Amino acid sequence: MKITFILNDQVIQTEQSGAGTLLDFIRYEANLRGTKIGCREGDCGACTVLSGTLQQGRIVYQSLTSCLTPLANAQGKHIVTVEGFNLPGLNKVQEAMVECSGTQCGFCTPGFVVSLGGYALQENHPSAESAVSAIDGNICRCTGYKSIERAAARVQEALEEQDPDRPMEWLIENHFIPAWFQQIPQRLEALNIPKTSTPKTSGKLLVGGGTDLYVQKPDALPELPLQFVFGNTQVPVIREGNSIRIQGGATATDLMDSPVFLELVPRWYAYFKLVSSTPIRNIGTVAGNLVNASPIGDITAMLLALNARILLEQEDGRQRMLPLKHFYKGYKTLDKSEAERIVEIHLDLPEREPVLFHFEKVCKRTYLDIASVNTAISLRTEGGKIVEAHASAGGVAPVPLYLEKTSRFLEGKTIKPDSLVEALEILQTEISPISDARGSADYKRMLARQLFMGHFLTLFPETIQMEALV
Ligand SMILES: Cc1cc2nc3c(=O)[nH]c(=O)nc-3n(C[C@H](O)[C@H](O)[C@H](O)COP(=O)(O)OP(=O)(O)OC[C@H]3O[C@@H](n4cnc5c(N)ncnc54)[C@H](O)[C@@H]3O)c2cc1C
Ligand code: FES
Ligand code: FES
């Protein structure tokens, strides 16, 4: 298997195993030691690099954690490490970090510089807040975030002067990036790599973004028969009338930025801000989240509450459709054969919009953390009555839980505090949390109750008020 990509300004053609991490290739084969190793679990951002994809003659750059990315997923991409931003003097981002005292020991700094450099390479730079969002996957343990945030704000200020007609030229003239960036689209095009870019292998174990697999069994993976399926998604979300199809390989970022969902669900973007971090969302896929079967998977909880169905495909092309709520048979046990893959996720929308949907999540940290408990709900109402309800909860059972009894109870009920109080009692009968590092069983029961109340307080502020529930 030959893997071809551009690393900074060099074309790479390698016969190395695609199962090794991009991080190890960068550090030990390409000898670029600016990319650091911190946690190797996607948490710290010290290993952040950019991955550029050719789209209609221009390159779209996204940050990712190279410690969890199989080398195979670099196929056909422009990979940019911190060395790729080198100029004779400091570049604009480095300058901002130095002048705002955004670096102390320096170990985390390359990751921050790459993330902010990636932000500069984006098409839009809406606000200082969005510049800070670009570094939500980078952790610093000694400088203090305020100085780094000031550096991000300074980068933002500079970018507000960018010439929209000559964005790349402007970045070069203003010392953000070296001049060779301008030739990358043509050079990548000339490599002539098929759009469905991951190298073909026939192993049984599918690898999407690798954000679960490379945390769970990094050492075993190179020995296993793998099949790389990342990046084969052209249009991640398609709406046809009242039906929505999500590609299994769609990333969390694809879903977060999907115009279809942003239009349908008012707080959609804010919900996804609670899912991992920018570099993880850029590579973690929807199918990966569903098949990983973590009882606290956030995308899983959302799709259960949207009453999704999954389209599974055998190697020979035979397909079957299954309600997602029937996919989970027990802890990490799925209604799926080894050879089946999730190709699509289907949703039906109510005839009349908007979709009444809400998601709640509590974790030990607000961002970049997995849930202690999460829950989602979607409702269809007519004349003050609930006519259809689908609710889910995570962290309260061995599987991502579709709240069957609570959902059925709610159907036909008038939206009023009494109905909710009864629903909360039913909810407690169908969950079975256990005590672990994320909280005691009692605490999780309490969270499930409070978060479920949160759905109604948010969706029906006129009808349901806190005072009536306590
Ligand atoms: C730092 C960090 C933070 C995280 N935070 C969150 C969070 O806040 N919320 C959350 O829900 N998750 C979180 N995750 C988990 C993870 O990012 C998600 O579960 C992600 O969606 C997994 O997708 P992937 O493509 O990376 O999966 P992979 O690791 O590639 O695969 C996971 C499983 O899915 C299988 N698979 C992949 N694609 C397919 C397919 N098309 N068909 C069938 N099987 C397939 C694989 O064989 C494997 O069993 C976090 C992970 C990390 C490292
Ligand atoms: S080494 Fe920490 S995120 Fe990769
Ligand atoms: S400067 Fe030391 S960890 Fe960030």
Contact 415, 387 (CB under 8 A): no
Statement: residue 49 has pLDDT above 70 = yes
276 lines ligand 1 (CB under 6 A): yes
pLDDT of residue 364: 86
The minimum-distance atom of ligand 2 relative to the CA of 36 is: 1
Report residue 136 as tokens.
């939500």
The owner of tokens 């279809």 is: 260
The minimum-distance atom of ligand 3 relative to the CA of 141 is: 3
Least distant ligand from the CA of 46: 2
* Mean pLDDT calculated for residue range 340-355: 88
pTM of the model: 0.97
Query: From the CA of 106, how far away is ligand 3's center (Å)?
Result: 5
275 lines ligand 1 (CB under 6 A): yes
Give the Cβ contact number of residue 120 at 10 Å: 25
The minimum-distance atom of ligand 2 relative to the CA of 68 is: 4
Whole-number Å distance between alpha carbons of 281 and 253: 5
Ligand 2: lining residues by beta carbon, under 6 Å: 37-40, 42-47, 65, 67
pLDDT of residue 193: 85
For 188-221, letters b (16+ CB in 10 Å) and e give beeeebeeebbbeeeeeebbbbbbbbbeeebeeb
pLDDT of residue 203: 84
254 lines ligand 1 (CB under 6 A): no
* Mean pLDDT calculated for residue range 395-421: 97
pLDDT of residue 468: 73
**Which residue's CA is minimally distant from atom 4 of ligand 3?**
140
121 lines ligand 1 (CB under 6 A): no
Asked if the bond preceding 354 is cis, omega within 30° of 0, the reply is: yes
* Mean pLDDT calculated for residue range 216-243: 92
* Mean pLDDT calculated for residue range 430-459: 97
- Sequence-distant (6+) residues with CB within 8 A of 116 are 93, 96, 131, 134, 135, 151, 152, 155
Contact 297, 376 (CB under 8 A): no
The owner of tokens 């551009």 is: 6
pLDDT of residue 280: 98
% of the chain with per-residue pLDDT over 90: 90
98 lines ligand 3 (CB under 6 A): no
- Going by pLDDT thresholds of 50, 70 and 90, the confidence category of residue 464 is confident
* Dihedral (Cα; 63, 66, 71, 75), 10-degree rounding: 10
Query: From the CA of 289, how far away is ligand 2's center (Å)?
Result: 20
Read off the DSSP letter of residue 30: S
Statement: residue 116 has pLDDT above 90 = yes
Q: Whole-angstrom distance between the N-terminal and C-terminal Cα of the chain?
A: 62
* Mean pLDDT calculated for residue range 217-234: 90
Statement: residue 234 has pLDDT above 90 = no
- Sequence-distant (6+) residues with CB within 8 A of 346 are 243, 244, 245, 246, 308, 309, 310, 311, 321
- Going by pLDDT thresholds of 50, 70 and 90, the confidence category of residue 200 is low
**Model confidence over 84-97: pLDDT tens digits?**
999 999 999 999 99
Chain centre to alpha carbon of residue 340:
23
**Model confidence over 28-40: pLDDT tens digits?**
999 999 999 999 9
105 lines ligand 3 (CB under 6 A): yes
Statement: residue 445 has pLDDT above 80 = yes
pLDDT of residue 413: 97
- Going by pLDDT thresholds of 50, 70 and 90, the confidence category of residue 195 is low
- Going by pLDDT thresholds of 50, 70 and 90, the confidence category of residue 178 is very high
10 Å CB burial of residue 469 (0-12, 13-18, 19+) is middle
The minimum-distance atom of ligand 1 relative to the CA of 211 is: 26
Least distant ligand from the CA of 103: 3
Ligand 1: residue of 21, 216, 291, 340 to mutate (most ligand atoms within 8 A of CB) is 291
103 lines ligand 3 (CB under 6 A): yes
pLDDT of residue 196: 58
- Going by pLDDT thresholds of 50, 70 and 90, the confidence category of residue 303 is very high
206 lines ligand 1 (CB under 6 A): yes
Query: From the CA of 284, how far away is ligand 1's center (Å)?
Result: 5
Query: From the CA of 139, how far away is ligand 2's center (Å)?
Result: 10
Statement: residue 98 has pLDDT above 80 = yes
Query: From the CA of 402, how far away is ligand 2's center (Å)?
Result: 33
**Model confidence over 262-286: pLDDT tens digits?**
999 999 999 999 999 999 999 999 9
208 lines ligand 1 (CB under 6 A): yes
Ligand 1: residue of 201, 211, 216, 320 to mutate (most ligand atoms within 8 A of CB) is 211
* Dihedral (Cα; 43, 44, 49, 51), 10-degree rounding: 20
pLDDT of residue 353: 66
Statement: residue 15 has pLDDT above 90 = yes
The minimum-distance atom of ligand 1 relative to the CA of 216 is: 29
Q: What is the mean pLDDT of the chain?
A: 95
Query: From the CA of 144, how far away is ligand 3's center (Å)?
Result: 8
Query: From the CA of 23, how far away is ligand 2's center (Å)?
Result: 9
Query: From the CA of 252, how far away is ligand 1's center (Å)?
Result: 10
Query: From the CA of 77, how far away is ligand 2's center (Å)?
Result: 20
Statement: residue 466 has pLDDT above 80 = no
**Model confidence over 235-262: pLDDT tens digits?**
999 999 999 999 999 999 999 999 999 9
